[in-house]
Amino acid sequence: MAPPSFGLLAKLVGSTDGLFNDLVSGHPIGLSVTVWTAAMLALDLADRRTMWRGYWLEWALAALLLLGNEAAEWRIAQVMGAPMPFRTILPPLLLSVLAFPIVAWIVSRIDRWRLGR
């Protein structure tokens, strides 16, 4: 039996998760909704454009999307008057990029268990 295709639901997950992130983290409502939905659409576009994606391409794409997310949050904070230099986003960005292999491995194990392999 083939796993279910979630179609549009998979793209809407970015907006619901983004709204939860905005409410919990204190960002302006709509910032994470917009950024996360754009990231989900970018991942969908990359999935349609590439015949295959290897591990390194996944990591590079994740790093690029994480950089875009952190830069958007930094820019909005700057526009709202927070005196925050750009270098303050580098430690969480570096930690997130370095954590990607571990998180990808955990997700693959959960997915393998979910599919009953």
pLDDT band per the 50, 70, 90 thresholds, residue 9: low
* Residue 107: inside a domain: yes
Average pLDDT, the chain: 83
**pLDDT, tens only, 53-77:** 788 888 898 899 989 988 988 898 8
The DSSP code for 2 is P
> Is residue 83 a part of any domain in this protein?
yes
- Which residues are CB-contacts of 17 (< 8 A; sequence separation ≥ 6)? 32, 36
Percent of the chain with pLDDT over 70: 90
The answer to the question of residue 41 being in a domain is yes
pTM: 0.74
Total domains in the fold of the chain: 1
**Matching residue, tokens 């996944």:** 58
Residue 43, token pair as written in the block = 């991942």
Q: How confident is the model at residue 48, as a pLDDT?
A: 81
Q: Which domain holds residue 92?
A: 8-114
Residue 101 lies in a domain: yes
Would you state the pLDDT for residue 6? 55
